[in-house]
Structure 1
Amino acid sequence: MAKLVSKVYGDALFEESIEKQSVDTLFHEVKALLAIWRENRELAELLDNPKIVKEEKIGIITNIFAGRVSDDLMGFLAVIVDKGRQKDIPAICTYFIDTVKEYKKIGVAHVASAVELKSEQKAMIEQRLLETTEYVEFEMEYSVDPSLIGGLVIRIGDRVVDSSIKTQINELHRSLSKLQLS
């Protein structure tokens, strides 16, 4: 259900941003809003309090964000709170951000390696990804996983390229275990 709510509201915000040619502005504002929301659990708890009526919740949102975000986002937040969907704000923001990234052809790549990569290696990986995908830009996220032994595991969305030695050893093990000696 939450996924459907985030899609409906996220798509509505995206369509409005396209209509008003404010994709970049709303993109940055929503990213900032999501960070604020995640850092301030008290705000979410306050807005989830059933003892506070909707009008007061909208007043709280207005006091915090009016003049700091665009009128479009301010109105959008008021609608969300009015509909009692404030718990879904993080999911809606995340959906909107992901939708804008796809629209702008910004990929998010998660790269795991056995050791810390040098900046030249990171640049080569990003360049290779730009050459082999439809994306024009990448947000690169690197992590170190010593269990890989060597090689890389690259994940972009639901696609995974696994060239790690760990996986190659596991595949070799599976192949050898299928062999029957006569």
Structure 2
Amino acid sequence: MAELATLARPYAVALYDLATEDHEVDTWRAGLEVLAQVVDEPGVRELVESPSRSAKEKAERLYTLLEDWLPSAARNLMTVLAGVGRLGLLPEICSQFAGLQAADAQATDVTVISASELDGGQVDALRQAMQRRIRGSVEMNVETDSSLLGGALIRFGDTVLDASVRGRLERMREALSRA
């Protein structure tokens, strides 16, 4: 089962990125659910897993089944998956896509401790950068600590990103003491 998840993850992430960029996450999710259900049907499952049928033939038959619904982007997805023999991953791709959507809906608490006061533009830029890194929405808490000397310390979950001057000086001191 882990192998299916590993194989499906890049497709789910790429689709989620595309859907987010186009502001069509709900549309894609509904479409993926339809595709996943169709691929799980016994007759279609046989077609998808049949070694005697070409990738093109498999994709064409699925296009015929779904022609009323199938937008060009979904058609492209099916062509790619059929070409690499991975149409059977559609249910797992759908599941992971749904997981990405759910994770995106939950805000992650991010604490930014800066050496100096940040203006609104800097906070917005940090928020956008953290949303890309976390792949979800963030709740920003901004604090000031002049003992950092410069830069910032960013905490979220169990991760700490130390981009402060004080942190760099401490790491340099440790490296020099080991040498």
Give TM class, smaller chain: 0.5 to 0.7
In the alignment, structure 1 residue 32 sits paired with structure 2 residue 34: yes
Q: Which letter maps to 2:48? A: L
Distance (Å, rounded) in 1 between the aligned partners of 2:105 and 2:70: 22
Contact 1:44/1:86 (<8 A) preserved: no
Q: 1:17 to 1:102 in 2, by over 3 A?
A: same
Match of 1:85 in 2: 86
Shift of 1:67: 2.9
Gaps of 5+ in 1: 106-182
Q: How many residues align?
A: 105
- AA aligned opposite 2:60: G
Whole-Å separation in 2 of the counterparts to 1:36 and 1:47: 11
Provide structure 2 residue ranges, at least 5 long, that are not aligned to the other structure. Answer: 107-179
Deviation at 1:77, TM superposition (A): 1.5
- The aligned residue for residue 11 of structure 1 is 13
Tell me the secondary structure at the aligned position of residue 46 of structure 1: helix
Which one-letter code corresponds to 2:87 in the other structure? Q
Range with bigger deviation, 72-81 or 27-36: 27-36
Query: How many angstroms apart in 2 are the aligned matches of 1:50 and 1:36?
Result: 19
The answer for the alignment partner of 1:59 in structure 2 is 60
Name the residue aligned to 2:74.
73
The residue that corresponds to 1:45 in the other structure is: 46
SS at match of 2:68: coil
Q: Distance in 1 between matches of 2:54 and 2:100?
A: 32
Which whole-Å deviations, capped at 9, do the CAs of 1:42-76 have from their partners, x for residues lacking one? Answer: 10111211111111111112111223132212211
Q: Is contact 2:39-2:48 (8 Å) kept?
A: no
1:101 positional shift: 2.0
Cα RMSD for the two superposed structures = 1.8
Q: AA paired with 1:53?
A: S
CA distance in 2: counterparts of 1:20 and 1:32, whole angstroms: 20
Aligned mates of 1:87, 1:34 — CA distance in 2: 9
Alpha-carbon distance in structure 1 between the residues aligned to 2:67 and 2:105:
28
Percent identity between matched residues is 19
